Structure 1
């Protein structure tokens, strides 16, 4: 197994019309969640991924499992909760530059995940463990789940990748800051966004943020996403900006960060340099924004390389 990730995936409903959702009468149904988006992205790039979660014993949960399994992700560690529902969220597209997301996930099956849902033997076979800051915000038991997953990963020398992926609506800012910094300090690779770095450290300068994350003591590599400008990477002795790609028309930015993570980790798994891996992440993130939906735009490896070559941004030399 190349990568194991864990977290909640929900049924996604999007109005077929733009504008205020109160006027929408028909919706399309898809599925989405940061961790499963990431796992699907890696699977499309040719890697073996496993996803740990919990869904309700309902039609949405069954459809969700079928969908993720059909995308080539191992779902053998997903359990079914007969007394809690599968979570929902709605994506309101008011216009091309104003897209809002509303979650209905309180008391969901995934929020009931706990350390007992982890299979140490299964986790021990992974090269990387991917975690986000969404999961510990769901419940105290999910927070404990994260700590146990990290403990198992450390025991088996599995590198921990942490994407803060802040969801302020799920908890207080003080608790979010404390927990996310705690988890980041225990991670080997951190993938924050620029706004997340500012939230955690109160600074806006990318170089300062990179230094702050490295100083937490756990990570040997930090990749700071700075939107259309691309992403910086920081190690103990190197800092560099890898330029992003120009997207003429952004259709749907939701899921771009998950696509970036998938592209970046794919590069690491393919033994690319850090710079080449970040470039692949930038490319996947850009491609995702051109398609409506969280996972619908995730590319395969040939498409990514073709996109990089066409834009003249190939750093392989």
Structure 2
């Protein structure tokens, strides 16, 4: 049966501390991974979702599969018997700063292959969501993502690509060499304002003195290359979308920020959910910013993502109010 959204990539176990890791203390275990965060977010908003990936033959992999299935996500996975599921330690160093430490080199998830992509595509999908993170994990994973993007585009799927640059995985030059051609397969290109330069160089002629003109030039380059929507995440400053019809902007929803991890994935889930529902650009931006607000105002990678009925809580609630 065709699903609304298919995504593929590495999911890890996230071990979170409430303070410095060097001081010891308790750790809580969560599922982490940009693609699975988006999968959870879109599923909670009422859509059918499939996630494809590789886990190790270990309790961490079992935990990931159990958690994703509990969200109603169709899991299309392969178990790698000789490699471990990736692990990330997340340290809450101050109220405003968290630090991630990855133990994912050579992980099971990094062995994602074209054959895994073929299996994932067998059920069909309306939207294919990919990120630059998976492409950074290994040569095999990069080729799998490139193959998925090209195949999705050729088969007429809406291909969503979130740049999601991670400096601990590769350099900006390495990322640019892979992501610039990959972006040409995207229908919807999603990036933070400091990531657009990894998929377009149209701003080089404008220069850094005028960031707005630089963004406009890079967005125009991507639109000319066939991207239909260039979505720019601005964190606390909201988000914007560039299309052939022009530019739209939406402010962030004001909430008390507790944990910013996964906020960008929450925005992406809200945006793609509204796209699947047939919403216009303004509706997609609004749902994206609402989902992002839920993420930053609750702890965890995906635990605080809203259901469709919960979106109205932030849409209309007063500060500090109790919904009765």
2:151 and 2:42 map into 1 onto residues whose CA distance is 22
Deviation for aligned residue 1:97: 0.6
2:25 and 2:250 map into 1 onto residues whose CA distance is 43
Equivalent residue runs for 1:291-310 within 5 Å: 291-310=298-317
Matching residue of 2:103: 104
Matching residue of 1:315: none
Matched, 1:94 2:96: no
1:142 and 1:44 map into 2 onto residues whose CA distance is 28
More displaced 10-residue stretch of structure 1: 115-124 or 238-247: 115-124
TM-score by length of 2: 0.91
Question: 1:48/1:211 Cα in 2 relative to 1: closer, same or farther (>3 Å)?
Answer: farther
8 Å CA contact 1:211–1:234 kept in 2: the answer is no
Deviation for aligned residue 1:245: 1.0
Deviations 1:177-234 (A, max 9, x none): 1111111122111110112125554657245324413413130111111111211111
Structure 1 residue ranges without an equivalent (≥5): 313-317
Kindly tell me the number of residue pairs found equivalent between the two proteins.
308
1:26 and 1:305 map into 2 onto residues whose CA distance is 35
2:62 and 2:239 map into 1 onto residues whose CA distance is 37
Structure 2 residue ranges without an equivalent (≥5): 320-324
8 Å CA contact 1:210–1:222 kept in 2: the answer is no
Matching residue of 1:74: 74
8 Å CA contact 1:44–1:300 kept in 2: the answer is yes
Deviation for aligned residue 1:30: 1.2
Question: 1:283/1:210 Cα in 2 relative to 1: closer, same or farther (>3 Å)?
Answer: farther
Question: 1:269/1:232 Cα in 2 relative to 1: closer, same or farther (>3 Å)?
Answer: same
Counterpart secondary structure, 1:118 = helix
Equivalent residue runs for 1:259-298 within 5 Å: 259-298=266-305
Counterpart secondary structure, 1:169 = coil
Deviation for aligned residue 1:25: 2.5
Matching residue of 2:185: 186
Counterpart secondary structure, 1:97 = coil
1:311 and 1:267 map into 2 onto residues whose CA distance is 24
Equivalent residue runs for 1:210-249 within 5 Å: 210-216=216-222, 217-247=225-255, 249=256
Deviation for aligned residue 1:98: 0.9
**After TM superposition, where is structure 1 displaced by more than 6 Å over at least 4 residues in a row?**
none
Counterpart secondary structure, 1:12 = strand
1:148 and 1:80 map into 2 onto residues whose CA distance is 21
8 Å CA contact 1:123–1:152 kept in 2: the answer is no
Deviation for aligned residue 1:85: 0.2
8 Å CA contact 1:168–1:176 kept in 2: the answer is no
TM-score by length of 1: 0.92
Question: 1:213/1:114 Cα in 2 relative to 1: closer, same or farther (>3 Å)?
Answer: farther
Equivalent residue runs for 1:202-213 within 5 Å: 203=208, 205-206=211-212, 208-213=214-219
Equivalent residue runs for 1:129-144 within 5 Å: 129-144=128-143
Question: 1:162/1:214 Cα in 2 relative to 1: closer, same or farther (>3 Å)?
Answer: farther
Question: 1:206/1:39 Cα in 2 relative to 1: closer, same or farther (>3 Å)?
Answer: farther
8 Å CA contact 1:214–1:221 kept in 2: the answer is no
Deviations 1:277-299 (A, max 9, x none): 11100010011101110011100
